[in-house]
Structure 1
């Protein structure tokens, strides 16, 4: 491996503080608002109805309060036609006494605290002036003109505070961050005391101030909490839906393989139902464990954690039929539930993940569990996803999460009436109305915390890594499985009756990040073979199952192999290596995803399936270079890469360039549009010093080829939706490098949003922001039978300042249990 291993790129780079931010404005971006300055009758009537229901719901809430809280506050939601920016925020505060608590719908919807009742009466008075307008009356220059921006509004009632409830007794209670800190603290103190007085078991940690986990009994109901406490934002079930292995497996009387455990393979935390100490897993089970259940971390009643652990430990090699399997990781059970559909103590889990990283040096975690319910179209990042993003930013760790599964019963229902699976396949995920009347395609959206951006979310393909043809219901084994879930952002759906701006559509932003085989429904043989206990009554030794829960550990296993080979790599580099290795699992133009379904395919497979080829090492015709660096706000860097000069005059070869940028960020809470406030982008250009990159428009004069520029745009920064994963892929022929001295530069730039809280802005402006770039260069023949040099790897090593990525990190002191 050492001969063709990956290398750090350490060439001297140039940098410049400040860069050109102006450009020619596209027509769409320069369009002015409509000249029409009237509010149509139907909109006036809509506002009137909004106010009627607002008044009723406000009165009902105050009548339903049953507890003597020392202070109360009313909240309301206003849905705007446009992004609610800093200027509007200031106006609504000064004129109407409305203070922003939370942004959603990409900041076109705002949750407000009514902070000054006297000023709020001005809002009501202005509403009545709007109600009395005639059809041709203009609102221009009127004191109520800002109300023309409102699509609708509502009181934030108790029912608005109740999310997905699955009948459990444990609830995840998300809290508002009230702008009136005095009232916030009073209500929080009262609520915690009230729970204690009623002997209600709960978990709260001031280090995670936005949530608590409450195990409600008979003395306190969920309605009692949402009816009284204004600081409660949302109450949802903490129950984790789990797919249990099927009833039928491959009849065996032994496992039939030995296990080889190499030295220094990484520890991986398996957040699941525990892992049974069965024969093939005993060598890879660590003495370390975390158990929330008190039932024993090595007792897996459901079998879910055991099958996940087995796939993680052995990876795709498990399906090669080898008599000896080489372990990829040592497993640390983090048992958060005992039975399927038990409740997860999220706060305890968050604390334990940080502790496991600090105390035991665990950097990789697998979580094939989700919170119940799907993400609504274009909904904001959830509280758990936010906390995991924050954790991944603060620590050098990576969590692999499944996107969740559609219920087997739901899929079976739509097939019971004789419908052909191929005919309804894409309609099940999107545009369901005609083909599946009554089916809501939003139910196939990803589940929390798969939307988290600093993590890696994994979806499933229908194949089962066996040679047989696909036996399941998905049209092809290379396709996304029928049960897998799609990204919930949909640019075709209007928000508050208004369309997306071009600047808000980002092709780089996608979930899942990756896909891998997970088996298929409904034929048992279409499932993935998994490890089971020899004592299992229905599936001794081996079983069958399907789901994203199985695809996820197979990707985590690849990450473990990367870390074993390159222990010094940062987690952003691991993620970049995985993404950079991806291919479209179903080829370029899969049949079922044509004629308007191309975007759906992307939302199901994300960046694609990681391939083992060149993931860990290269060959004489290819090399992977890794940049691990940081960049400050408003900075540009230029990193040179030298190619052999003979390449510029070569007539038989060309260069395949594949590069991926990954950066982590500190998320801004309660702000949908600015959740990711940091922009870093990169490009590969003709040789340019950073000062030239900073002050020149990147046109054909500087591009290596006409289609290659910056990986992501930042203009119109406050309205932009950014992505912290960006991949580019293109070909370079010798003619592209003829006048560059066989050299190109990697340009990196950093910018960000300013309409964010002061503490977040201070971090953005003053901090150094880490990033990784993985650059893969491969020489390929221009024509099928053309000869190539066969020396690209050694030439790149000789011409550039490179460093091996194989030094082993320092030891970690380990103790069993937490």
Structure 2
């Protein structure tokens, strides 16, 4: 019997908050060693260091001379900025050395990449004298290495591996195409912001004089320039020193050839459209010439194209957004029922039209602006779908894109959740004639921007298509990841030796059905057999077509998100995400361990279990917040019958699965501190704060020896890991553990702000960092031994609040 999930009132059921302190007796670490000890351990190879620095200095001076010669003095630009990219031998301590590098060398940190081992510095023309100290220190070290001299110089340079000037060629990452939009990344200078503003104003005047249209958003520091005949991009980049990167905004919906099913009538209708949640379909519009019309909200204010939002004119009228909208509103049932009969939608549909071509240029500024407009006009909206990605895949360990940053910021500021597809890699069909998972070793299979977004939900594809009959795809089964899906772009093997890694930081978050290729005479096709998906066409003469893609996996996930929102309207978007990931499993999907998470995330969603609890299984939601350096304990009370009754076994009588999610205001241009907040949880014995925070080797507070003390480790200060805002754990519960702890387990949560931010960047995160936790507790007894007591007895002894109204869902199911 379906029962509603419950909210655990952690504001009432808690044991207070104390300052957080790591003290687990793991022995001395690098972070506890003194500076002198570190120096002795490293024993700098002066000769090797000098050789690298000499080469870097020679090439730097040559590149700088070339850059200066290219400048056009007639432009009369009063300020100039040089950017120096320094690769360090290990992680650079941003917080500790920000002021030192500026004081001694005139170098201001503007970007952190390679998870802390590569720093881009800026030096304005006013600080050229201080910068000479940097070059002089390099020269002196080289001279000492040559003749064994003991000349003095700044030892700040000891951990440099190489350095170079950021040249125009480094900045321009794209070819200029006619009618394109260029996205230019502008740095955020904390110290030299006045110099940046002077150059920006000169640039704006230059663009106006040349009749070049542009849009600048000072909130995200993104400048978009619309390509025009008079645009000389090289002149702009050579003279206006406020750009870190220029990229193309070409987006793509490219997919393999589709196949018309030749159905002349749609054969289904929408009925019963009450005040359901609204899902924003960020796509190519939704056609009014389909049965979806009654569920579609038409608002031309949410349109950045030249064609109406209720027209989906892609591919000669077949469309794309219409098929996405059908899956978001009706879910997989519309395919299993072959689009026949009456359907009650799970949501209303709000088309947010951002493209009317399969390959077109996208304006990040306009897209985010129209999303803000949608939230303003329809404040109840939480769920969006986005299946329009940039064309180019991400490079291994590449920094977060402007697009991902903008969407992460939007989601955080508006309590929203965007379901983003990984992008499709249909080149796989041209390379192999079999299911070949090692294909994902290649960088070309990495996800596409903005799928690296952390606050939102990234969805890849498995081979399920919901078609009747035997599975005929090329994958090893319906639940296996497809060859056209894309993997996360993190590659730990390419990081600096000794660099801190975070195995919890991966994408996608999950996989959903996207259909699969079939094999026909050694050629992959999408139109034969039952492996592809049946999709709604915007063309009423066509009605339906067959196809595959991650574009169809994302709206299926969004459909579940919308159903959760309808059932439990009061919970946050982070709680929706936590609940969904808590009910994902990877046990049906095979992929090698070394890229399993990067390919399937937390696995495939078990839709039938995520929506409801039952008498033998309960999901609790915690919504709370912590300030920096706080540790909170929430006791979880478990019923006495688990100890007192004969359950026919004593080990593994329960399974507890827990997922923590939170949204954050991202830190731009800092790959290491992009997620600036560390929030983690752990399950402990029935101990107090003070006991739990003592050395683990002395007290043994961990509930299970098989679990880490914390779901994520923020113990390291000078060389921290990059943080993840999603953490998940699962473990069995034995009767003796319940007896030992008097039926009470302690859930500990703590919060810390990232220790390697630039001065002042930590201020927004010192107070009120919100988080959500989904805890699913279930009896794991044989079916005949299930007690039917867990839900009622657990809710009776804990401070809980029943969420939602199941009557509405029951009406829908009927």
Question: Partners of 1:548 and 1:341 in 2: how far apart?
Answer: 17
Question: Partners of 1:307 and 1:466 in 2: how far apart?
Answer: 16
The CA deviation at 1:87 is 3.2
Higher mean alpha-carbon deviation, 713-722 vs 211-220, is at 713-722
Partner of 1:646: 641
The CA deviation at 1:112 is 1.0
Matches within 5 A, 1:394-433: 394-406=413-425, 408=426, 410-415=427-432, 420-422=433-435, 425-430=436-441
In the alignment, is the contact (CA less than 8 A) between 1:261 and 1:284 conserved in 2?
no
Residue 260 of structure 2 aligns to a residue in which SS?
A: coil
The CA deviation at 1:579 is 0.4
Give the alignment partner of residue 51 of structure 2, picking from 31, 34, 45.
45
Partner of 1:187: 199
Residue 477 of structure 1 aligns to a residue in which SS?
A: coil
In the alignment, is the contact (CA less than 8 A) between 2:312 and 2:320 conserved in 1?
yes
Is 1:371 matched up with 2:371?
no
Partner of 1:666: 665
Is 1:161 matched up with 2:171?
yes
Partner of 1:506: 502
The CA deviation at 1:181 is 1.8
Question: Partners of 1:198 and 1:452 in 2: how far apart?
Answer: 36
Question: Partners of 1:365 and 1:344 in 2: how far apart?
Answer: 17
Is 1:711 matched up with 2:721?
no
Partner of 2:536: 531
Task: From the superposition, tell whether residues 301 and 137 of structure 1 become closer, same or farther in structure 2 (CA, over 3 Å).
Answer: farther
Partner of 2:810: none
Is 1:124 matched up with 2:140?
no
Q: Deviations over 1:353-385 (max 9, x none)?
A: 122112212221111111232222112211221
The CA deviation at 1:108 is 0.9
The CA deviation at 1:6 is 0.6
Matches within 5 A, 1:259-658: 259-289=270-300, 290-302=302-314, 303-321=319-337, 323-361=341-379, 362-406=381-425, 408=426, 410-415=427-432, 420-422=433-435, 425-430=436-441, 441-494=442-495, 498-501=496-499, 504-521=500-517, 522-524=524-526, 525=528, 526-535=531-540, 540-584=542-586, 586-587=588-589, 590=590, 593=591, 597-650=592-645, 651-652=647-648, 654-658=653-657
Task: From the superposition, tell whether residues 87 and 705 of structure 1 become closer, same or farther in structure 2 (CA, over 3 Å).
Answer: closer
Question: Partners of 2:636 and 2:64 in 1: how far apart?
Answer: 64
The CA deviation at 1:262 is 4.0
Partner of 1:82: 90
Is 1:720 matched up with 2:721?
yes
Question: Partners of 1:699 and 1:459 in 2: how far apart?
Answer: 44
Partner of 1:793: 791
Q: Deviations over 1:690-736 (max 9, x none)?
A: 45444564877433332233212211044122111111111102111
Question: Partners of 2:789 and 2:611 in 1: how far apart?
Answer: 19
In the alignment, is the contact (CA less than 8 A) between 1:20 and 1:696 conserved in 2?
no
Question: Partners of 2:695 and 2:172 in 1: how far apart?
Answer: 52
Task: From the superposition, tell whether residues 698 and 296 of structure 1 become closer, same or farther in structure 2 (CA, over 3 Å).
Answer: farther
Question: Partners of 2:722 and 2:538 in 1: how far apart?
Answer: 47
In the alignment, is the contact (CA less than 8 A) between 2:298 and 2:351 conserved in 1?
no
The CA deviation at 1:42 is 5.4
Partner of 1:146: 156
Task: From the superposition, tell whether residues 802 and 87 of structure 1 become closer, same or farther in structure 2 (CA, over 3 Å).
Answer: closer
In the alignment, is the contact (CA less than 8 A) between 1:19 and 1:695 conserved in 2?
no
Question: Partners of 1:755 and 1:245 in 2: how far apart?
Answer: 45
In the alignment, is the contact (CA less than 8 A) between 2:290 and 2:540 conserved in 1?
no
Equivalenced residue count is: 769
Q: Deviations over 1:158-200 (max 9, x none)?
A: 1111124473521111112234222211111111122222222
Residue 505 of structure 1 aligns to a residue in which SS?
A: coil
Q: Deviations over 1:195-237 (max 9, x none)?
A: 22222222223333x1022111101132232222110121111
Residue 659 of structure 2 aligns to a residue in which SS?
A: strand
Give the alignment partner of residue 260 of structure 2, picking from 237, 249, 255.
249
Residue 627 of structure 1 aligns to a residue in which SS?
A: strand
Question: Partners of 2:57 and 2:471 in 1: how far apart?
Answer: 56
Q: Deviations over 1:436-490 (max 9, x none)?
A: xxxxx11211222111211111111123222444444444432211121111111
Residue 56 of structure 1 aligns to a residue in which SS?
A: helix
The CA deviation at 1:561 is 0.5
In the alignment, is the contact (CA less than 8 A) between 1:634 and 1:749 conserved in 2?
yes
Question: Partners of 2:345 and 2:371 in 1: how far apart?
Answer: 23
Task: From the superposition, tell whether residues 713 and 426 of structure 1 become closer, same or farther in structure 2 (CA, over 3 Å).
Answer: same
Q: Deviations over 1:655-698 (max 9, x none)?
A: 11111111111222222211112111112222234454445648
Question: Partners of 2:559 and 2:690 in 1: how far apart?
Answer: 42
Task: From the superposition, tell whether residues 245 and 445 of structure 1 become closer, same or farther in structure 2 (CA, over 3 Å).
Answer: closer
The CA deviation at 1:392 is 1.5
In the alignment, is the contact (CA less than 8 A) between 1:244 and 1:304 conserved in 2?
no
In the alignment, is the contact (CA less than 8 A) between 2:266 and 2:540 conserved in 1?
no
Give the alignment partner of residue 70 of structure 2, picking from 49, 64, 86.
64
Residue 120 of structure 2 aligns to a residue in which SS?
A: strand
Residue 664 of structure 1 aligns to a residue in which SS?
A: coil
Q: TM-score, normalised on structure 2?
A: 0.90
Higher mean alpha-carbon deviation, 198-207 vs 297-306, is at 198-207
Task: From the superposition, tell whether residues 304 and 741 of structure 1 become closer, same or farther in structure 2 (CA, over 3 Å).
Answer: same
Question: Partners of 2:799 and 2:628 in 1: how far apart?
Answer: 27
In the alignment, is the contact (CA less than 8 A) between 1:649 and 1:738 conserved in 2?
no
Partner of 1:806: 804
Residue 352 of structure 2 aligns to a residue in which SS?
A: strand
Gaps of 5+ in 2: 518-523, 807-814
Task: From the superposition, tell whether residues 546 and 333 of structure 1 become closer, same or farther in structure 2 (CA, over 3 Å).
Answer: same
Residue 352 of structure 1 aligns to a residue in which SS?
A: helix
In the alignment, is the contact (CA less than 8 A) between 2:648 and 2:785 conserved in 1?
yes
In the alignment, is the contact (CA less than 8 A) between 2:278 and 2:348 conserved in 1?
yes
Task: From the superposition, tell whether residues 12 and 36 of structure 1 become closer, same or farther in structure 2 (CA, over 3 Å).
Answer: closer
Residue 184 of structure 1 aligns to a residue in which SS?
A: helix
Question: Partners of 2:688 and 2:597 in 1: how far apart?
Answer: 36
Task: From the superposition, tell whether residues 187 and 620 of structure 1 become closer, same or farther in structure 2 (CA, over 3 Å).
Answer: same
The CA deviation at 1:623 is 0.9
Question: Partners of 2:113 and 2:260 in 1: how far apart?
Answer: 46
Pairwise CA RMSD: 2.4
Is 1:751 matched up with 2:752?
yes
In the alignment, is the contact (CA less than 8 A) between 1:246 and 1:544 conserved in 2?
no
Gaps of 5+ in 1: 431-440, 809-818
Task: From the superposition, tell whether residues 37 and 710 of structure 1 become closer, same or farther in structure 2 (CA, over 3 Å).
Answer: closer
Higher mean alpha-carbon deviation, 38-47 vs 99-108, is at 38-47
Higher mean alpha-carbon deviation, 681-690 vs 479-488, is at 681-690
Task: From the superposition, tell whether residues 676 and 385 of structure 1 become closer, same or farther in structure 2 (CA, over 3 Å).
Answer: same
Q: Deviations over 1:761-783 (max 9, x none)?
A: 22222x111111111111121xx
The CA deviation at 1:325 is 2.6
Q: Deviations over 1:214-273 (max 9, x none)?
A: 111101132232222110121111111112473313231222222234422211111111
The CA deviation at 1:792 is 0.9
Higher mean alpha-carbon deviation, 701-710 vs 629-638, is at 701-710
Question: Partners of 1:87 and 1:701 in 2: how far apart?
Answer: 34
Question: Partners of 2:327 and 2:128 in 1: how far apart?
Answer: 59
Task: From the superposition, tell whether residues 553 and 753 of structure 1 become closer, same or farther in structure 2 (CA, over 3 Å).
Answer: same
Partner of 2:182: 171
Question: Partners of 1:301 and 1:530 in 2: how far apart?
Answer: 16
Q: Deviations over 1:311-343 (max 9, x none)?
A: 111111122115333312111111111111111
Task: From the superposition, tell whether residues 805 and 101 of structure 1 become closer, same or farther in structure 2 (CA, over 3 Å).
Answer: same
In the alignment, is the contact (CA less than 8 A) between 1:638 and 1:688 conserved in 2?
no
